[in-house]
Amino acid sequence: MKPYILICALALASCAGNGTKNSGDTLAGGNAGEDTSKATALNTPAQNMEYCFIHTDGINGQDTTAVHLVINANKVSGDMSWLPKEKDRRKGTLAGMLNGDKIKAVWSFMQEGMKDTLAVEFKLSAQELAQKPMNLNVATGREQVNTNADYSVIYKLDNCEKFKSNK
């Protein structure tokens, strides 16, 4: 009888693991865990995770766009800031849905003291964020997602320090 108890105890111990999490394991300011390792292995977005990304462009990379995403199941929230060097900035929140690795969201922002919204579309992988570019709708005079374009605006994974300092 005692060997069975020992075998069961060993089996339970191996299934339970050590039960501790290393608080130093993070990905771009989010909590790393089982979801993150699976997502990284498959190069797909992790669930219940935070991501931060930076894109620079313009002369000498002086214009920055920072995106902070919070993924909870298929819901996406977060912040997005467009920070050009010598133009009016756009800072606001993101709210949308994740379907596979695609995100469709609405960016609600302030620019020149005015509130506005834009639809945005992203493709999220474990290491980068890609966005469909915007184009001007001449009929409405508003920017909109270029649905015919590929995800060509590439954001690099970041620790969000640039984003936090520009909030």
Task: Kindly report, residue by residue over 74-131, the tens digit of the pLDDT.
Answer: 999 999 999 888 778 899 999 999 999 999 999 999 998 899 999 999 999 878 999 9
Q: What is the DSSP letter of 89?
A: -
- pTM (predicted TM-score): 0.70
Task: Kindly report, residue by residue over 128-162, the tens digit of the pLDDT.
Answer: 999 999 999 999 999 999 999 999 999 999 886 65
Q: Which residues of 58-93 are buried (b: 16+ CB within 10 A; e: fewer)?
A: eeeeebbbbbbbebeeeebebbbbbbeeeeeebbbe
- The whole-angstrom separation of Cα 59 and Cα 28 is 26
Helix (H) or strand (E) holding 28: none
| Annotated domain spans of the chain | 27-165
- For 52, the token pair is 């931060």
